[in-house]
A = this chain, B = another copy of it.
Amino acid sequence: METVLTDLQKLYQEGSEEALRDFFTFLKFNSISSEESYSAEVHSCATWLASYIEAMGFSVEIWPTSGHPVIFASYCGAGEDKPTLLIYNHYDVQPVDPLDLWQTPPFSPTIRSDQVYARGAQDNKGQCFYVLQALKLLLRRDGKLPINIKLCIEGEEECGSKGLAEILAKHKRALQADTLAIVDVGLQKADQPAVTIGLRGLVTMDVSVKGTKGDLHSGMHGGLAYNPIRALTELLSGLYHPDGRVAVNGFYDAVLMPSEKEKESLALEFDEESYLTTYGALPTGGEKSLKPLERAWLRPTLEINGIAGGYSGTGFKTVIPAEASAKISCRLVPHQDPMQIGDLVKQHLIKNCPPGIKVEVNIHKGCGTAVRTNIDSRSVKAFAQSYSEVFGKSCTFILEGASIPIATELAKTSESELVLVGLGLGTDNIHAPNEHFGLDRLEKGALIIARAIELLNT
């Protein structure tokens, strides 16, 4: 075993200079999917990536969608009797605001202290890139791959995966696989190998609260008009019980908590002091009676992601605004239904709306259910072993509080066992300024994927 890894590692290091050059090229594309103005850059990125994978010996198709294209690549040289692994990544990235907080420009990749700084360095270009390096390693060593490999790399993960979701059925045959590895998650600690066995679901909504026809002077109307900002703060704070539980009637009804045995398999210990050091505040959110990772992994949550109303610039404006608004999201666990939970929140807000105020709630479509993978499946076991080998340490199982709405659909369409893997860390600043990914994790990632491919061939 050790020899296999040492050889792969040696091969990786021989090619690392060239790989880094290619990685930087990949990172330089401004492939921000949510902003229309970057559309051409997203397409250029897709074209470059398709050529890169084609040059590796894969058969590549660019699937057009209603939005940005999906790159589909396949290597079927292992033969029909060999298993097929479908790997999911995305080449689009988050917006870069606030730009002035970046130490170096987001699309000028820079190495500082062995970390690559760039938008997408981790999420998900970095994790996509080590997958490709893993394949290159095996191809360079053996001239072929031991199992059949399919790659599905989309360009709209950061804006809802709408295009891919729409074309899944059409490409059902092409996507057939035995294992689906979604390489877009991470670890709890840099030195502790872990396979993710679940994701939370998600439902999002806009809330708008309206009072009078137009803005009012707060001197003349203070005491007369019901201030929509006051109404909004009352409605939103009323979504929580003082003990942190969500106060929406029926919110927890469908929640399926894991069995004690399942709980035991999870690495639920949590270092609150280290959270304080890293993030600057203690983890005081969520349900007070539960442990931090129970709250973040096993329980649904409701968060207010944005709020706006009245005048918020410099100086002061004594206005009672005509309306105020907020954005709410709920993270869901098995077996909660996103649209049903959205509706419960909506009904709660409508029921508690004060007189003189109207509330409107717009629940967004396309949100996803929670995901659990089968911890006893062949696929999860192969990846867990690979993590253990590469880290030289027994692999644990974790959950991920975030959501990848396409995961369930893609697993269903491809009729495969789902595995959730990755090497992200909470400190990578994904979706934030100064996103970065370690050179050590680029290497580990390549080795883990390469070894898992070998282990799936048994």
Q: Are A295 and B229 in contact (CB-based, < 8 A)? A: no
Q: Are B303 and A320 in contact (CB-based, < 8 A)? A: yes
A287 / chain B contacts, CB cutoff of 8 Å:
223
Q: Are A219 and B403 in contact (CB-based, < 8 A)? A: yes
Measured in the bound complex, the distance between the Cα atoms of B214 and A220 in whole Å is 39
Copies in the complex: 2
Measured in the bound complex, the distance between the Cα atoms of B433 and A425 in whole Å is 50
How many Å from the CB of A348 to the closest CB on chain B? 14
Measured in the bound complex, the distance between the Cα atoms of B229 and A307 in whole Å is 7
In the complex, whether A108 has a CB less than 8 A from a CB of chain B is no
Q: Are B279 and A213 in contact (CB-based, < 8 A)? A: yes
Category for how many chain A residues contact B: 35 or more
Residue of B nearest to A431 (CB): B217
Query: Of the 9-residue stretches A250-258, A309-317, A410-418, which lies at the interface with chain B?
Result: A309-317
Measured in the bound complex, the distance between the Cα atoms of B168 and A345 in whole Å is 56
How many Å from the CB of A362 to the closest CB on chain B? 11
Interfacial residues of chain A within 190-243, with CB under 8 A of chain B in the complex: 200, 202, 204, 211-227, 229-230, 232-234, 236-238, 240
Which of A213, A356, A430 is most buried by chain B, counting CB atoms within 10 A of its CB?
Answer: A356
Q: Which of B212, B281, B297 has a CB less than 8 Å from the CB of A281?
A: B212
In the complex, whether A327 has a CB less than 8 A from a CB of chain B is yes
In the complex, whether A143 has a CB less than 8 A from a CB of chain B is no
In the complex, whether A319 has a CB less than 8 A from a CB of chain B is yes
A219 / chain B contacts, CB cutoff of 8 Å:
200, 202, 331, 400-403
Q: Are A218 and B299 in contact (CB-based, < 8 A)? A: no
Seen from chain A, the residues whose Cβ lies within 8 Å of a Cβ on chain B are 34, 159, 200, 202, 204, 211-227, 229-230, 232-234, 236-238, 240, 275, 279-287, 292, 295-297, 299, 301, 303-312, 315-321, 324-327, 329, 331, 354-357, 364, 400-403, 426, 429-433
Q: List 23 A-B contacts (CB under 8 A).
A: A200-B222, A202-B318, A204-B316, A218-B331, A220-B296, A220-B400, A221-B296, A222-B285, A222-B329, A223-B401, A224-B286, A225-B279, A230-B236, A234-B237, A284-B355, A284-B357, A285-B356, A305-B311, A305-B320, A306-B309, A307-B312, A308-B308, A316-B327
